Amino acid sequence: MVVLYWYGGKLLYNGDISYKHLFQTFYVVVTAWILIAEAGSMTGDISVGTHALKSVFTVLQIEGKMETGPLNHIINPKRIYGQIELKQVEFVYLTRPKKMVLKGLSLKIEAGEVATLAGISGYGKSTIIGMIQRFYDPVVGL
C-alpha cells in the first residue's frame, strides 16, 4: 500500500494522472486485496465441510440389521396395528462410541396405547424415538 501511495504521489507530482484516477486505482487495489483475503479465510471452512461430508458418507454406507427385502412391492396400509417393544437395549452413537446413551432400556407400548417420554435434555428421548423409527439399531438388545 505504501508503494501505491508513493508511486501515485510521484505520478501526481509529474502531472501524469489526476487525483480522481489515483483514488480510483487505490479503491480497486484495496477491494481486490479484501476479496483475496476473504477467499483465503474460507479454506478453513472448506476443510471442515469436507470432513463433515466424509462422515455423512460413512454413515450412509452402514448397513442396518433389519432385512428390508426388495422394495418393488411396497405396501401402504391405511392403518397399522401393533405394539412397540424394546428389550434390554443398549445404544451408543457412532460418533461417540465411549458414551453410553441407553443402557438396559426396556419399553413396551401395546397397540392403541398412548405413551409419553419425559425427561431433561440428554436423557435419550429423541434416541428412543429414532430407534422406534429404525433410524438407529441398538448395540445390544432388541
Query: Does 83 share its domain with 37?
Result: no
25 domain-assigned: yes
Query: Does 50 share its domain with 81?
Result: no
Query: Does 12 share its domain with 40?
Result: yes
Instruction: Name the domain count of the chain.
Output: 2
111 domain-assigned: yes
Cβ 90 vs Cβ 141: under 8 Å? yes
Q: Residue 10: which H helix or E strand, with range?
A: helix 2-14
Half-sphere exposure of 87 (CA within 13 A, CB side): 3
Query: Does 20 share its domain with 48?
Result: yes
66 domain-assigned: no
Residues pairing with 86 in the sheet = 107
Q: Which pLDDT band holds residue 88 (cuts at 50, 70, 90)? A: very high
Q: Across residues 43-58, what is the average pLDDT?
A: 80
53 domain-assigned: yes
Could you read off the pLDDT of 66-75 as tens digits, one per residue? Answer: 666 666 666 6
21 domain-assigned: yes
Q: Which pLDDT band holds residue 108 (cuts at 50, 70, 90)? A: very high
70 domain-assigned: no
Range of the domain at 28: 2-57
Q: Supply the pTM of this predicted model.
A: 0.46
Query: Does 40 share its domain with 85?
Result: no
C-alpha cell at 104: 438396559
142 domain-assigned: no
Nearest to 101, CA basis, from 79, 141, 69, 128: 128
